């Protein structure tokens, strides 16, 4: 029998249990000052960009309004504009830092749509590379992440200047 050793997976299991009983991890990351610990790439009064602690792929980012709402309809036009600008800047950061071949950008609204965190709307940006899919998810129901989160974080924060101008929207 082959054994796939993934000791970090227990952190996800414990985190998922704890997260249901405690405050929103996006709000916590916004309210705390330790950006590195929370894997925050960028934050302003209206928007936060952070790495997914349990990524689908290397560089998987979450872009969210700082306002804790479950749906886009509860955001102002300016908040939506700032969110879109943050998505645009995030894609640019990922391009410069990781050189992906493409991206999946999307949102899961509601548990049945796959939302792990229903109460705080957020967008996912998942970098993709030619050949990043293999037999592991199909045969072993396992996704391989080839780089440690902190190593990816170090690469991404070097390009924070690309968020300049995200604080303003002209609507």
Residues identified as active-site: 122
Give a three-class secondary structure readout of 6-34.
CCCHHHHHHHHHHHHHCCCHHHHHHHCCC
**79, 65 in Cβ contact below 8 A?**
yes
Distance CA 119, CA 109 (A): 9
Listing DSSP states for 97-160 in one string gives HH--SEEEEE---SGGGT-S--SS--EEEEEE-TT---SHHHHSS-----S-HHHHHHHHHTTG
**Hey, is 62 helix, strand or coil?**
strand
């Amino acid at each position: 029998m082959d054994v796939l050793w993934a000791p970090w997976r227990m952190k996800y299991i414990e985190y998922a249990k704890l997260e249901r009983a405690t405050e929103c991890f996006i709000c916590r990351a916004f309210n705390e000052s330790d950006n590195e610990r929370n894997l925050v790439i960028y934050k302003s009064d209206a928007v936060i960009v952070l790495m997914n602690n349990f990524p689908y792929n290397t560089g998987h980012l979450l872009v969210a309004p700082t306002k804790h709402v479950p749906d886009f309809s509860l955001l102002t036009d300016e908040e939506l504009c700032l969110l879109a600008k943050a998505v645009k800047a995030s894609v640019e950061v990922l391009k410069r830092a990781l050189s992906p071949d493409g991206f999946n950008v999307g949102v899961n609204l509601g548990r049945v749509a796959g939302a792990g965190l229903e109460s705080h709307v957020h967008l996912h940006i998942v970098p993709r590379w030619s050949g990043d899919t293999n037999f592991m998810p199909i045969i072993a129901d396992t996704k391989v992440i080839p780089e440690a989160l902190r190593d990816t974080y170090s690469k991404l924060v070097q390009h924070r200047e690309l968020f300049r101008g995200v604080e303003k929207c002209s609507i």
